[in-house]
Amino acid sequence: MIFKPQKYRIKDESMINFIDPEEINDYLNRAKPTTDMVRQVIEKSLNKERLNLEDVALLVKATDLEQIEMIKDGAKTLKRNIYGNRIVLFAPLYVGNLCNNNCKYCGFRASNSKAERKTLNDQELYENVVALEQNGQKRLILVFGEHQKYNAQYIADTVRKVYNIKSGNGEIRRVNINAAPLDIADFKTVKESGIGTYQIFQETYHPEAYKKYHLSGKKADYNYRVTSLDRAMEAGIDDVGIGVLFGLYDWRYEVLALVRHTNHLEACYNVGPHTISFPRLQKALNLDVDEQYLVNDEEFTRIIAILRLAVPYTGMILTARETAEIRREVLQYGCSQIDAGTKIEIGAYAEKFQKNQELKKEQFQINDNRSLNDVIEELIEQDYLPSFCTACYRLGRTGEHFMEFSVPGFIKRYCSSNAMLTLAEYLMDYAPPETAEKGWKLIEKSMLDLEGFQNIDEVHARLMRIKNGERDLYF
């Protein structure tokens, strides 16, 4: 099973392109998985040993149905044994869709003259954030096109404004960013505003496919994009998110490249990405893509199971691009965060929502339009514990996924306890009575899992304090 790739890259160096397509193809070409090999790789992951690229290549090359079942079962077991049943909830807030780039898959691209351009002004930002808070949201990701208007200062100012908007018991406690790559000084400016994660997706790690899909604008520079998060790290942002837009190039190559990117960040900065996202190509205004690499549902769910096994201590984000049905299935394989109550038409949280059939104000089409409460209720019914926890980030506990994975008792002490406290807040402030009833039952049941645990009395006490009106209690 052991083989040596023909060519090893020299040591990873900061801010230098680390993706070598030949190396990745070499791993892919050599991987000839048998059922035994696949089993060994899964066992390695379940034993909390790190998978290498050779192992991951075996998983992505597995085509035999039995092997695929083993991979999905392995991911389920890993998720259950290590992470338990928490799911963190957030919402995206599209701030503006001006864009200088021409990404062929995106409705916001500069050449899309039919796209309605809009940037939220202060009043609209306020109204949208209030609407999100009044729904019960506590964690947002702000999304921007790439445009001179959305410079680092603008992004930082927007983050500060969002943190300052309060409505009753509502407040946003964590603001993440999905925006264009910056230089080091600009990343520092954004960091100072108190962001959580800075997400930048490479879209495709394959240089030729990248060139084909990114026709003009700053994003056309592959090297600048692929080293973005190196600059973020150099600027002191150690909480970063990576991702691939599945459907642009062979998914097997992209999965290995995501792992390679993870290895690069770990080698250079001693910390891997906080999250991995796996958007899948959706309909968009004038979508212009080659269909040969589109990923079907079975492959998509398999990708998620493989990533869970390959990078077990990285958070995995699944968005409302996917249908409720797909989301239900892959939650079992280890996604730790989902958005809910999502609206991606700019300004739509505050407007009476009129679905825009022509996709003029949306970047792409989403497929799960359920409300936050509907999603929460379904999670509760399926025994997941919805969480709005922001504790690690606010207490400076970075690397929380790694700690969840490797520190015994971490999940009970912090994650489960905080999930219950934040769910209790939601049930008190925003949930309709039927959801509240189901939610309190779930909290009671989840308390049983803390039986014998040192801080159980304190969790009880804090739940009582929340019932009596206190807010924002966390461990």
Which position among 18, 83, 94, 108 is part of the footprint of ligand SF4 (CB under 6 A)?
Answer: 108
Listed in sequence order, the residues at least 6 apart from 148 whose beta carbon sits closer than 8 Å to its beta carbon are 100
248: contact with ligand SF4 by CB under 6 A: no
242: contact with ligand SAM by CB under 6 A: no
Smallest gap, in angstroms, from Cβ of residue 111 to ligand SAM?
14
CA distance 117 to 97: 6
109 binds, among ligand SF4, ligand SAM, none (CB under 5 to 8 A by kind): ligand SF4
Question: Under rule CB under 6 A, which residues in 413-442 are in contact with ligand SAM?
Answer: none
Judge whether 78 and 130 are in contact, CB under 8 Å. Answer: no
CA distance 399 to 384: 23
The count of other CB atoms within 10 Å of the CB of residue 391 is: 22
Identify which range of 97-105, 204-212, 256-264, 452-460 contacts ligand SF4 by CB under 6 A: 97-105
105: contact with ligand SAM by CB under 6 A: yes
Name the residue nearer to ligand SAM (CB basis): 242 or 265.
Answer: 242
Token duo for residue 381 = 């019914």
Name the residue nearer to ligand SF4 (CB basis): 5 or 145.
Answer: 145
CA distance 302 to 72: 7
392: contact with ligand SF4 by CB under 6 A: no
303: contact with ligand SAM by CB under 6 A: no
Which position among 213, 364, 430, 440 is part of the footprint of ligand SAM (CB under 6 A)?
Answer: 364
Burial of 247 (0-12, 13-18, 19+ CB in 10 A): buried
CA distance 239 to 399: 8
279: contact with ligand SF4 by CB under 6 A: no
Judge whether 258 and 244 are in contact, CB under 8 Å. Answer: yes
User: For residue 219, which phi and psi values (nearest 5 degrees)?
Assistant: -70, -15
Question: Under rule CB under 6 A, which residues in 46-85 are in contact with ligand SAM?
Answer: none
Helix (H) or strand (E) holding 260: helix 251-269
Axis-axis angle for helices 21-30, 53-61 (nearest 10): 60
CA distance 176 to 234: 18
| For the chain, counts of helices (H) and of strands (E) | 20, 11
Helix (H) or strand (E) holding 29: helix 21-30
Residue nearest to ligand SAM (CB): 364
99: contact with ligand SF4 by CB under 6 A: yes
Which position among 5, 96, 136, 145 is part of the footprint of ligand SF4 (CB under 6 A)?
Answer: 145
201: contact with ligand SAM by CB under 6 A: yes
279: contact with ligand SAM by CB under 6 A: yes
CA distance 239 to 183: 16
Smallest gap, in angstroms, from Cβ of residue 177 to ligand SAM?
9
Smallest gap, in angstroms, from Cβ of residue 341 to ligand SAM?
18
Which position among 28, 37, 58, 103 is part of the footprint of ligand SF4 (CB under 6 A)?
Answer: 103
106: contact with ligand SF4 by CB under 6 A: yes
- Name the site residues for ligand SAM (rule: CB under 6 A): 105-106, 143-146, 178-180, 200-201, 203, 245, 279, 281-282, 284, 287, 321, 363-364
Site of interaction with ligand SF4 (CB under 6 A): 99, 101, 103, 106, 108-109, 145-146, 219
